[in-house]
Structure 1
Amino acid sequence: MMQWEKLLSLKKQGVTNKRLRIEEDETRLGFEVDYDRIIFSAAFRSLQDKTQVIPFSKTSFVHTRLTHSLEVSVVGRSLGRAAGKAILEKHPHLKSTHGYHFNDFGAIVAAAALAHDIGNPPFGHSGEKAIGDYFSNGNGKRFKKDLSDKEYQDLIDFEGNANGFKILTESKNGVDGGLRLTFATLGAFMKYPKESLPKQPTPYIGDKKYGLFQADKSFFKEVAEELGLKSRSDTNDMSYVRHPLTFLVEAADDICYTIIDFEDGINLGLIDEEFALEYLIKLVKNTINTEKYNSLIQSTDRLAYLRSLAISTLIKEATKQFIENEEEILNGTFSRSLLDKCEYKAQIDDIIKISVEKIYKSKEVIEKEISGYHILATLLDTFTTAFENHYSERKVRHYDRLILSEFDDSLSESASVYQYLMECCSYVSRLTDGNALQSFQKINGIQ
């Protein structure tokens, strides 16, 4: 069974001495420093110009990756604090001997939740698919012969979660250890603690995708061993059970995208308002104050009230599921998301079904995804060709030098094919929607 004392490690990348919670400065707690470092990072700020689901609207506010991440973080903090309070009551030595406070759990979940989308490319989830498609079906397929099976899988199944871990931890431009977050926060961030292969579906939710690139295996192993995460592999393939607080980070994300994407769809007129309000009322029927609801005149106020109540309801339910299943979670045998186990699963599924039909398959979203595919394929083709020419015996064109001047000098002259391809993907993934479009226009000579 995993132990909370290890799971709440304050250790940071490159620091050898053990940091004890009881010795922490209460005004500048390590887990809270994690939050600060993420929110002031360039990678986080760029999320303000990245599509969440619905492209930016000229007529109404819709959520970006940044506003979504902030809201997920707020929900995550509430989940972490509520769960932490119950955990400390169940394991009082964590407070009396080690000095942990219930706010620590909230701070870890809030920081991991804040960073949960930091590795996602531009143009929503289609950005990940566009990068993968370039290497599996596009011109990037030419590199397959130069890569190991796992390296190639990293590219054809490009994963924002793995890219997020890379961004948070990679040494770059003289900065060692990336943001140098605590291992507890890095563990909670890791939704899928395994490498890209073997790719085989299992009932365990942590196997649904992968969470680390080949280049980051060594450091993640250090993090996993420090936290005491249980290995799930009988071979040399890297796979661990989730950090328990990851379930709370996931629940915060699930709550926000279920309710708030739905709200965006209503505000944009993609979902009929009266129809939608009925579905939200079904979710909160046990806690709604009918008199208060009926007194609200504006439809936006009614929607805001139901949204607030729905989020509060699901926070309580997710916390309940976490505490009731704590032993299974610590044993690594809990295999589903918290909301999958909750009593409101049917109502959640109904809301998500409508969102898929009315929002995710809407004309605006599809048009954005089509554009994203073409833009990212063009950028990747241009960048990979420039690196390929630079690292091969081919004559390097002046054009290639101009393209490579956009990149920093962190790659050595002996970089492998995998390393320079990952550099291209990393560069593209950090672009905002607007930056990607500008680069595309520049490459195509469009002013």
Structure 2
Amino acid sequence: MANWEQLLSLKRFGDKHKRIRKEQDDTRLGFEVDYDRIVFSSAFRSLQDKTQVIPLSETDFVHTRLTHSLEVSVVGRSLGRNVGKAILKKYPYLAATHGFHFNDFGAIVAAAAIAHDIGNPPFGHSGENAMSDYFKNGAGQRFQSQISKLAYQDLTHFEGNANGFKLLTETRDGSVGGLRLSYATLASFTKYPKASLPHKPTNQIAHKKYGYFSQQADFFDEVARDVGLPTSTHEHGQSYARHPLAFLVEAADDICYTIIDFEDGINLGLIPEDYALEYLSKLINHKIDVDKYAKLNTTKNRVAYLRSLAIGTLIQETVDIFMANETAILNGDFHVDLLSQSRYKAQIKDIINISIKNVYRSQEVMDKEIVGYKVLTSLLHEFTTAVEHQLNGQSTSIDRLILANFLPHFNAEQSPTEDWLIDISSHIAAMTDSEALRTYKKLTGMAL
């Protein structure tokens, strides 16, 4: 069974001595430093020009990965603080003996939540599919015989969550250990504490995807052992249970994309405004101030009012579910997402289904996903071919130009094939939508 003292580890990569909570400066707590480091990172800044739902949208209504991540972080902070209050009431020694505060929980969840999409490639989830398909069904199949089965699985099932862990932790540009976040934050960030193989060994929520590439497996093991994640044994082997606060990070994301993607759809005219009152009122009927609502004279303001009430309802609901299952969660015996246990799960499902039909599958989304698919597969092919030719001594003039212009600091000569393939994939995934499109236009001559 995990224990909260260990789960709230302040340790960072390279630490020689244990960090004690009582010795922390509360004016800038270690977990708050995590948040600051993420916000000031280049990977986080790139989210301002990455698709949330509508790729390359030209309207200010639509959320980017940046605005979505900020909102998930706000919701996550509220979830963490409320759970923290309940945990400290249940285990008073955490405050009395170790000095933990309910804000610690909020700071960890907020930091993990603001980073939760940091590894996602351009063009939304279609970007993950495009990159995976290049290695699974496209020209990237040529590398299968040259790399391990695990590394090939990483590439053919490219995962933004795993790439996020890589971006947060890898040594690059002289920064040893990446952002050097606390192990509590890194473990809470990792919703899927397993490698890409075995693929979906069980129906447990923690096995739905994977959380780190084979490159980072040893470091994740270190993080998991330090925070005391329980091991989970199944017929395909052994993996880790989730950090309890990872459930709150997931819930914050689920709350935001359920309600806010629905709101985006209404503001874009893809979903009728009448649906807002019809569906959201099922979550908040008893909270609506009818007089206040009647005075709101724009669709945007009316939907925003309903959205804020709905999010508030789901925050409290999530906290109640977490605390009702806290013992099972600590034991590693809770295997579903928190909102699946909500009394509002039918209403949540209805809202998501409307968004799928009217927004995610709208013509605009599908048209631009096709563009994203072409862009990313082209970049992968041009970059991997240029590096491959360089290593084989077969570089052409165009190969040398590509390396000099787009990969000037990339050195694959001392790296195994599987490592430089993951590194190139990660490099492309770190691009913004616009940067990827500009690079594609340059490579194809369309920018002239």
Q: Same fold (TM over 0.5)?
A: yes
> Is the 2:86–2:323 contact (alpha carbons within 8 Å) kept by the matching residues of 1?
yes
Q: Which residue of 1 aligns with 2:400?
A: 401
Mean Cα displacement is larger for which, 417-426 or 398-407?
A: 398-407
Q: Structure 1 residue 407: deviation in Å?
A: 2.4
Distance 1:236 1:366, change over 3 A: closer
SS at match of 1:232: strand
Q: Which residue of 1 aligns with 2:437?
A: 437
Q: Which residue of 1 aligns with 2:80?
A: 80
> Which runs of structure 2 are paired with 1:306-325 in the superposition (5 Å)?
306-325=306-325
Q: Structure 1 residue 305: deviation in Å?
A: 0.9
Q: Which residue of 2 aligns with 1:333?
A: 333
Instruction: Give the CA RMSD over aligned residues.
Output: 1.4
Q: Which residue of 2 aligns with 1:54?
A: 54
Q: Structure 1 residue 301: deviation in Å?
A: 2.1
C-alpha distance in 1, partners of 2:245/2:129? 28
Q: Which residue of 1 aligns with 2:305?
A: 305
Q: Percent identity?
A: 60
Q: Does 1:17 align with 2:25?
A: no
> Is the 1:140–1:381 contact (alpha carbons within 8 Å) kept by the matching residues of 2?
yes
Distance 1:6 1:391, change over 3 A: same
Q: Which residue of 1 aligns with 2:287?
A: 287
Gaps of 5+ in 2: none
> Is the 1:197–1:237 contact (alpha carbons within 8 Å) kept by the matching residues of 2?
no
> Is the 2:200–2:209 contact (alpha carbons within 8 Å) kept by the matching residues of 1?
no
C-alpha distance in 1, partners of 2:271/2:13? 47
Q: Which residue of 2 aligns with 1:424?
A: 424
Aligned residues, how many? 446
Q: Which residue of 2 aligns with 1:135?
A: 135
Distance 1:237 1:15, change over 3 A: farther
C-alpha distance in 1, partners of 2:250/2:378? 33
C-alpha distance in 2, partners of 1:106/1:161? 21
Distance 1:154 1:59, change over 3 A: closer
Q: Which residue of 1 aligns with 2:254?
A: 254
C-alpha distance in 2, partners of 1:369/1:184? 36
Gaps of 5+ in 1: none
Distance 1:17 1:235, change over 3 A: farther
C-alpha distance in 2, partners of 1:412/1:135? 19
C-alpha distance in 2, partners of 1:422/1:238? 25
Distance 1:410 1:24, change over 3 A: farther
Deviations, residues 166-209 of structure 1 (Å, cap 9, x unaligned)? 00000011110000000000000001000001113523100000
Q: Structure 1 residue 290: deviation in Å?
A: 2.7
Mean Cα displacement is larger for which, 166-175 or 411-420?
A: 411-420
Q: Structure 1 residue 144: deviation in Å?
A: 0.5
C-alpha distance in 2, partners of 1:361/1:292? 34
SS at match of 1:55: coil
Mean Cα displacement is larger for which, 355-364 or 202-211?
A: 202-211
Q: Which residue of 2 aligns with 1:270?
A: 270
Distance 1:391 1:59, change over 3 A: closer
Deviations, residues 99-123 of structure 1 (Å, cap 9, x unaligned)? 0000000000000000000000000
Q: Which residue of 2 aligns with 1:212?
A: 212
Distance 1:22 1:440, change over 3 A: same
C-alpha distance in 1, partners of 2:97/2:155? 46
Q: Structure 1 residue 237: deviation in Å?
A: 5.7
C-alpha distance in 2, partners of 1:322/1:359? 31
> Is the 1:380–1:425 contact (alpha carbons within 8 Å) kept by the matching residues of 2?
yes
> Is the 1:204–1:335 contact (alpha carbons within 8 Å) kept by the matching residues of 2?
yes
> Which runs of structure 2 are paired with 1:135-174 in the superposition (5 Å)?
135-174=135-174
Distance 1:11 1:69, change over 3 A: same
Q: Structure 1 residue 402: deviation in Å?
A: 2.2
> Is the 1:38–1:44 contact (alpha carbons within 8 Å) kept by the matching residues of 2?
yes
SS at match of 1:239: strand
C-alpha distance in 1, partners of 2:408/2:418? 17
Mean Cα displacement is larger for which, 397-406 or 98-107?
A: 397-406
> Is the 1:121–1:428 contact (alpha carbons within 8 Å) kept by the matching residues of 2?
yes
> Is the 1:60–1:267 contact (alpha carbons within 8 Å) kept by the matching residues of 2?
no
C-alpha distance in 2, partners of 1:236/1:205? 16
SS at match of 1:174: coil
- With normalisation by structure 2, the TM-score equals 0.97
> Is the 1:195–1:238 contact (alpha carbons within 8 Å) kept by the matching residues of 2?
no
Q: Which residue of 1 aligns with 2:245?
A: 245
Q: Which residue of 1 aligns with 2:379?
A: 379
Distance 1:348 1:8, change over 3 A: same
C-alpha distance in 2, partners of 1:292/1:117? 35
Q: Which residue of 1 aligns with 2:101?
A: 101
Q: Structure 1 residue 403: deviation in Å?
A: 1.7
SS at match of 1:358: helix
Deviations, residues 135-166 of structure 1 (Å, cap 9, x unaligned)? 00000011111111111000000000000000
SS at match of 2:174: coil
> Is the 2:84–2:105 contact (alpha carbons within 8 Å) kept by the matching residues of 1?
yes
Q: Which amino acid in the other structure matches residue 51 of structure 1? A: T
Deviations, residues 324-354 of structure 1 (Å, cap 9, x unaligned)? 1100000011111111101110100000000
> Is the 1:194–1:238 contact (alpha carbons within 8 Å) kept by the matching residues of 2?
no
> Which runs of structure 2 are paired with 1:225-244 in the superposition (5 Å)?
225-233=225-233, 239-244=239-244
- With normalisation by structure 1, the TM-score equals 0.97
Q: Which residue of 2 aligns with 1:115?
A: 115
Q: Which amino acid in the other structure matches residue 85 of structure 2? A: K
> Is the 1:195–1:237 contact (alpha carbons within 8 Å) kept by the matching residues of 2?
no
Q: Which residue of 2 aligns with 1:5?
A: 5
> Is the 2:83–2:105 contact (alpha carbons within 8 Å) kept by the matching residues of 1?
yes
Mean Cα displacement is larger for which, 101-110 or 403-412?
A: 403-412
SS at match of 1:14: coil
Mean Cα displacement is larger for which, 289-298 or 38-47?
A: 289-298
C-alpha distance in 2, partners of 1:436/1:160? 16
Mean Cα displacement is larger for which, 375-384 or 398-407?
A: 398-407
